[in-house]
C-alpha cells in the first residue's frame, strides 16, 4: 500500500522535525539569565564563557539524557502494551520502576551514598522487580495471561512502593537523599550517567528490534504466530526482558518518570495505526519529544527555580492523552 507507506514516512518525518525543534529549544531555553540570543551565539561559537558553559555543560548534557530516557520509555511503552495486549499497561506496572527505586532506597539505607551508587544497583533492582513478577505468574502456570501479569505487576509495585515509603519514614536521612528516586529529574545527574546507560539502551533497543516481527505476528493471534513459525513464549519473554532493560536504564538514569510510556504509544497509534513495526519506530521519536517538552517547561515555569521533570511530565502528558481520547475513535491494539 504505497499510500499508507507515505503517511508513515510523513509521520516519521513530522516526529523527527518536532524532535529537532525541541532539541533546539532545550539548548536555547533555561531557567537562568542566559536567554535565547546569547545561547544561540554560544552555539555558533561565541566566546562568552558563562553562556558556553551553560549551553554545553548543562543544557547539552541534559538534552542528551532526555533523548536517551525518552527513547527507552517510548519503546518500552509500545512493547509492553503490545505484549500484554492491554492499552493501560505502563512500564511502571511491571514492577520495574518500583523495583529500581526500592533497590536504591535500600542501598542508601544500608549506608551507601547516593552519588557513589552506580546505576547498576537501580538496573539490578529493575530486573529483579520484573523477574519477581514474572516468577510469580509462572509458578502458578498462568504466565501466558497478560492481564494476570499486569495485576501481579500492580501488586508488586504497590508492595515495593510501600516498602520504600517505610524505609523513608524510618530513616529521615535517606529521605533527604532519596527525593530524586521518588520523582525523576534530568538536571544535575552525574556526568558519567550517559556512558553508563548507553549500553542498556542499545541492548534494549536491539532486543526490541529482534522481537518486533514475531510480536506483530502475535497481534494476529496465537495460532497465526505459531503457524508463521514464531515461538510465542520466547517472544513474550524476550519482549518483557527488553522492557525491563529499557525501563531499568531510564529509571537508573533519571529516576521514575511517569506517563511517557503510557501516552506515547497512543499518539503513535493515532498517527500510523496499530502495526507495532510502525508504532515502535515512531514511539522512539515521540518519547524524547514529550520528555523534552516537559523538561523545557519544567525550567520555564518557576524561574529561577526548577521543577523535577517527573512532576511536569504528568502535567504535559495528561492533556495530550485526554485530547487523543476525546478526538477520535480509540485506536485499538
Point out which residues bind other proteins (CB under 8 A): 30-34, 50, 53-54, 57-59, 113-115, 170-173, 175-177, 179-180, 185, 187-191, 299, 302-306, 308
Q: Could you tell me the smallest distance in angstroms from the CB atom of residue 114 to other proteins?
A: 7
Q: Could you tell me the smallest distance in angstroms from the CB atom of residue 273 to other proteins?
A: 39
Give the C-alpha separation, 250 to 71, whole Å: 9
Which has the closest alpha carbon to 284: 226, 215, 220, 201?
201
Q: Could you tell me the smallest distance in angstroms from the CB atom of residue 201 to other proteins?
A: 22
Whichever of 90 and 295 has its CB closer to other proteins, that residue is: 295
Is residue 145 left, alpha or beta, with left meaning phi > 0 and alpha meaning psi from -120 to 50? beta
Whichever of 57 and 222 has its CB closer to other proteins, that residue is: 57
* Residue matched to cell numbers 509521520: 11
Q: Could you tell me the smallest distance in angstroms from the CB atom of residue 255 to other proteins?
A: 9
Give the C-alpha separation, 139 to 144, whole Å: 11
**Taking each helix axis from N to C terminus, what angle separates 260-272 and 309-327, rounded to the nearest 10 degrees?**
30
Q: Using CB atoms within 10 Å of the CB of residue 163, give its burial: 0 to 12 exposed, 13 to 18 middle, 19+ buried.
A: middle
Whichever of 120 and 319 has its CB closer to other proteins, that residue is: 120
End-to-end CA distance of the chain: 20
Whichever of 54 and 286 has its CB closer to other proteins, that residue is: 54
Whichever of 109 and 232 has its CB closer to other proteins, that residue is: 109
Helices (H), 140-231: 146-170, 172-182, 193-218, 222-227
Give the C-alpha separation, 285 to 293, whole Å: 13
Q: Could you tell me the smallest distance in angstroms from the CB atom of residue 52 to other proteins?
A: 11
Whichever of 95 and 310 has its CB closer to other proteins, that residue is: 310
Whichever of 144 and 176 has its CB closer to other proteins, that residue is: 176
Q: Could you tell me the smallest distance in angstroms from the CB atom of residue 166 to other proteins?
A: 14
* Residue matched to cell numbers 513459525: 229
Long-range contacts of 309-316 (CB under 8 A, 24+ apart): 309/66, 309/184, 309/185, 309/186, 309/254, 309/257, 310/183, 310/184, 310/185, 310/255, 310/256, 310/257, 310/258, 311/183, 313/184, 313/257, 313/258, 313/259, 313/260, 314/258, 314/259, 316/259, 316/290
Give the C-alpha separation, 149 to 173, whole Å: 35
Q: Could you tell me the smallest distance in angstroms from the CB atom of residue 260 to other proteins?
A: 19
Whichever of 164 and 279 has its CB closer to other proteins, that residue is: 164
Q: Could you tell me the smallest distance in angstroms from the CB atom of residue 35 to other proteins?
A: 11
Amino acid at each position: 500500500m504505497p499510500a499508507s507507506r507515505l503517511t508513515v514516512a510523513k509521520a516519521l518525518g513530522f516526529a523527527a522535525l518536532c524532535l529537532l525543534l525541541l532539541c533546539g529549544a532545550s539548548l536555547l531555553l533555561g531557567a537562568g539569565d542566559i536567554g535565547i540570543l546569547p545561547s544561540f551565539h554560544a552555539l555558533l561559537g561565541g566566546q562568552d564563557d558563562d553562556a558556553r558553559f551553560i549551553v554545553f555543560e548543562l543544557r547539552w548534557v541534559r538534552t542528551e539524557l532526555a533523548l536517551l530516557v525518552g527513547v527507552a520509555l517510548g519503546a518500552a511503552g509500545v512493547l509492553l502494551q503490545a505484549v500484554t495486549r492491554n492499552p493501560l499497561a505502563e512500564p511502571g506496572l511491571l514492577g520495574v520502576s518500583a523495583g529500581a527505586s526500592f533497590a536504591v532506597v535500600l542501598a542508601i539505607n544500608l549506608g551507601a551514598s547516593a552519588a557513589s551508587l552506580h546505576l547498576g544497583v537501580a538496573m539490578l533492582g529493575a530486573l529483579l522487580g520484573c523477574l519477581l513478577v514474572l516468577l510469580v505468574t509462572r509458578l502458578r502456570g498462568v504466565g501466558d495471561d497478560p492481564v494476570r501479569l499486569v495485576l501481579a505487576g500492580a501488586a508488586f509495585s504497590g508492595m515495593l512502593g510501600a516498602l520504600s515509603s517505610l524505609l523513608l519514614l524510618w530513616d529521615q536521612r535517606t529521605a533527604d537523599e532519596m527525593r530524586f528516586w521518588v520523582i525523576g529529574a534530568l538536571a544535575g545527574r552525574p556526568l558519567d550517567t550517559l556512558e553508563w546507560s548507553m549500553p542498556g539502551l542499545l541492548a534494549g533497543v536491539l532486543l526490541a528490534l529482534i522481537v518486533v516481527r514475531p510480536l506483530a505476528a502475535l497481534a494476529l493471534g496465537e495460532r497465526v504466530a505459531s503457524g508463521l513459525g514464531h515461538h510465542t513464549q520466547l517472544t513474550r519473554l524476550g519482549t518483557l526482558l527488553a522492557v525491563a532493560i529499557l525501563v531499568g536504564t531510564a529509571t537508573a538514569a533519571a529516576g521514575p518518570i511517569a506517563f511517557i510510556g503510557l501516552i506515547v504509544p497512543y499518539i503513535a497509534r493515532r498517527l500510523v495505526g496499530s502495526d507495532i513495526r510502525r508504532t515502535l519506530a515512531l514511539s522512539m521519536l515521540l518519547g524524547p519529544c514529550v520528555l523534552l517538552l516537559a523538561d523545557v517547561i519544567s525550567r520555564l515555569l518557576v524561574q529561577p527555580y526548577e521543577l523535577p521533570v517527573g512532576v511536569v511530565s504528568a502535567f504535559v502528558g495528561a492533556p495530550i492523552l485526554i485530547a487523543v481520547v476525546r478526538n477520535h475513535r480509540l485506536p485499538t491494539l
